[in-house]
Structure 1
């Protein structure tokens, strides 16, 4: 049985994996997504309260 890492590598080299990576990169550059992530991290770290 293939290890999890091998399966991930195989997926990332497939057309679907390349599309998923491109979408993730596009979302990572989006300022709105960055703000959401910063807010989530602040809550997890016990930052600002709502």
Structure 2
């Protein structure tokens, strides 16, 4: 059985995976999206980690 990392790597080499990666990279550069993410992570507490 393939590990989750192997499945993700395979997906990233598909056209849909490349498109998803490009979209994620655009969002990572967008200051508004970054601020929104920081806000959401702050609401979860403990730095966003679950135990």
The list of structure 1 runs, each at least 4 consecutive aligned residues, that deviate by more than 3 angstroms after superposition, is: none
TM-score normalised by L of structure 2 = 0.73
Which one has a bigger Cα radius of gyration? 1
The unaligned stretches of length 5 or more in structure 2 are: 47-51
Please state which structure has a larger fraction of its residues in helix: 2
Structure 2: how far apart are the matches of 1:38 and 1:4? Answer: 26
Residue matched to 2:33: 33
Q: How does 1:5-20 map to 2 (within 5 A)?
A: 5-20=5-20
TM-score normalised by L of structure 1 = 0.74
1:1-35, Cα deviation, whole Å (9 max, x unpaired)? 22211111100111111100000000111111011
The count of residues paired between Structure 1 and Structure 2 equals 46
